Structures are given as structure tokens and as C-alpha cells.
Copies of this chain bind each other. A is one copy, B any other.
């Protein structure tokens, strides 16, 4: 049996999520190979302790030391977004397969170079749009592919979080363009755009509006993702708090709408996707991610209605490996599903979706949106 040896770079929220995935893969899936958690890398002291707790063979502090370790098969980038490009390019050039958290990069230029690197070196690449492996989303994809929705007329993706409603929330790295690239438009928007591309198809044109409701916040003295503490000096929020985008798809007569906000008071993490077609509709909400609402106008008149399908058990993608219908899986488990497909692809030297090209194409959409937010005109989306 083969072993896939993994180095994970990053040990915060996503480092933990990926560690969980590599760990639980063998508990829930029958694979023809093993996965070894070889290296945990992070530029902070606690990486040694965490590597030990999390079951890694060893820990290192500098990511450069990971790249050329001979028998590493997969480099998994869970580091800050500003480091994605250089690590990924170095990894690809070293012939490593590479997984990168979303967003792929801070700029289009970086993202294009990342694609170039993985294409040139013919390594397997994947970008971390884990929502594709929410079983209800994979099932929605199947319904669309099987023609159950018919011709699509509407796509709405509204992603609401609410952690910025509090004016006392400090100027975390996610609120600075230099560290995050975009605001909600990139952070949440990347997920929605990827789902739009996955479920419906390529996007051709966008018209975007953005707002920054609170423009000054207290600078953080120690930045640690969402847990940043406020200091005493004010600084500027230079990314969007909320972004609203009309969307035209390629070669399809569909009305598309994508909205993201961090001011959706009361919505901790509501990624609500609604698709209406000539034969049916689907509604998905990330906070209820084990359900899919499905309507079919092919049902007899008096039996038509939105059906709450509990996605679990033997009849749905991914779920047969889990607990049985009605015993829900969690957010973390979507990473296990994702890792399963990634490792299978590496094992067979195949491609897997969403790869870096998907990541780049997603970023082209976001960038066109960002430009449109300034020009206040419809902007064409570049395609790879």
C-alpha cells in the first residue's frame, strides 16, 4: 500500500481543519493508500507542541525547509493568504502536489503565476473551496446535471456573516487590503462565485457595488485571525464590508445575483444559495448544511411543494461513509470529503476539481467585480 506524505503549512483555523481531515480520512474512508502527517510547519513556537498533539512526525518553523524534503508528496498551504503564491510556486517547482486554501492569491498576477507553475510541473493542484464537498451541494450538482431543475433562470447566492456589526471589533487582518486582498467580496464571495461556477457555469460579466459601513476601527496589537485584540490607535478599513454583484453567465440566459456581507446581523454563517429552473428549484443554507430544499414542478399539482431533503445515508454523495441519515456531519467533515478526493487524485496522478485554474477563474470574477465597484459599469470577466 502506498503512503501519501503530507506537509501542512499553517497551524491556525485552517491548519487545524486540514489536520482533522488527514487524520479522519482513514477512519471514514477505505483508501488504497495511507496518508502520513509528516510535517507541520508554522513560524511560531507552539508549532512543536501542536505537531506533537496532532500526530505529525515533526515540526519545522520555516516553510522553505519543507519544500525540498524528498519524500513529501503533498504540500498543503494553510498559511496567511499573502504567502500562498510564493509557497505554492516553490512547491510546484519542486515537483510537489499542492493544495492551497482559498483565496488562491492576493492578486491576479500571483494567481496566474501559480497556475503556470502547477501546469508546467504537471503536479496535482487543488484550491480549498470545501463547500463543493458539502454532500447537499454535491447532490444539488447531481440534480442539476440530471436535468431535474431544467433550464436555469435564476441563481442567487447571498452569504451573510455578522461579526463586523460591532463597531468595537478591531482592525483585523481581514479588514486590510494588503493582507486580505478583498473584504467580504473575496473572503465570502470566493465561496459563492465558486459555487456559481460549479453549479451553473462560467461567468461572463459582472456589475458590482460595495460598501464599507465603518471606515475606521481600532488597530489590533496582536493579529490572530478573528481573535485579534483592539489597541488604542485608529486605522482605516480599506476593503469592503459588503459587496453586491449582478452576474451574467456565459451562453445562458440566467439572472445571477451574488451578495456578501459581514453586517448580516444574526446570520453567523448563512451562505444561502437559491436556484430556480424551468422544472424545479433548490435552496441551500450553509447553517443547515445537511439539508437541501428541492421543489419539482413535475410533481402533480396538489403535491407540489418545497421538500426538505435530509442529505445523509446511502443515497447521497459522500454520506454513505458517515453516520446514517439523520445523524448529521459537521463543517469539519467537509474537509475530510475534500481530502478524500484530493488524495485519490494524487494516488492516481489525476486532476481534481477545483484546481488552481478554478481558483484563478474565480479570482478573475472577483477582480472584475472589484473593478466594476469603481467604474460602476458592467465589466467583462477574463477567462483562463
Contact = CB atoms under 8 A, between A and B. Distances in A.
B309 A308 contact: no
A20 B327 CA distance: 15
Number of copies of chain A assembled together: 4
A381 to B, nearest CB: 16
B306 A266 contact: yes
Interface in A236-279: 242, 244, 246, 253, 255, 257, 259, 261, 263-270, 276-279
A332 B334 CA distance: 13
A280 interface: yes
Contact of A328 (B16, B226, B278, B289): B289
Interface stretch (A61-69, A82-90, A318-326): A318-326
A281 B265 contact: yes
A24 B284 CA distance: 28
Interface hub of A289, A306, A322 (most chain B Cβ within 10 A):
A306
A107 interface: no
Interface in A324-346: 324-333
Contacts of A13: 323
Contacts of A263: 153-154, 276, 278
Q: Is the interface of A mostly helix, strand, loop or mixed?
A: mixed
A216 interface: no
Given A276-B261, A307-B306, A330-B332, A211 B281 contact: no
Contacts of A257: 244, 257, 259
B242 A255 contact: yes
B316 A302 contact: yes
B24 A305 contact: no
A267 B66 CA distance: 49
A326 B26 contact: no
Contacts of A331: 323, 327-329
A257 B376 CA distance: 16
A366 to B, nearest CB: 18
Nearest to A271: B326
Given A54-B27, A269-B325, A287-B328, A153 B261 contact: yes
Contacts of A309: 302-305
A329 B326 contact: no
Interface stretch (A157-165, A170-178, A196-204): A157-165
A45 interface: no
B310 A308 contact: no
A121 interface: no
B264 A326 contact: no
A315 B297 CA distance: 14
A182 interface: no
A369 interface: no
A265 B287 contact: no
Nearest to A213: B153
A266 B315 contact: no
A70 interface: no
A316 B28 CA distance: 28
Nearest to A323: B331
Given A287-B326, A315-B301, A326-B267, A242 B153 contact: yes
A114 to B, nearest CB: 27
8 contacts: A244-B246, A244-B255, A244-B257, A265-B278, A265-B297, A267-B281, A268-B327, A302-B315
9 smallest A-B Cβ distances: which pairs? A269-B326, A268-B326, A266-B295, A330-B330, A268-B325, A305-B309, A302-B315, A327-B331, A305-B307
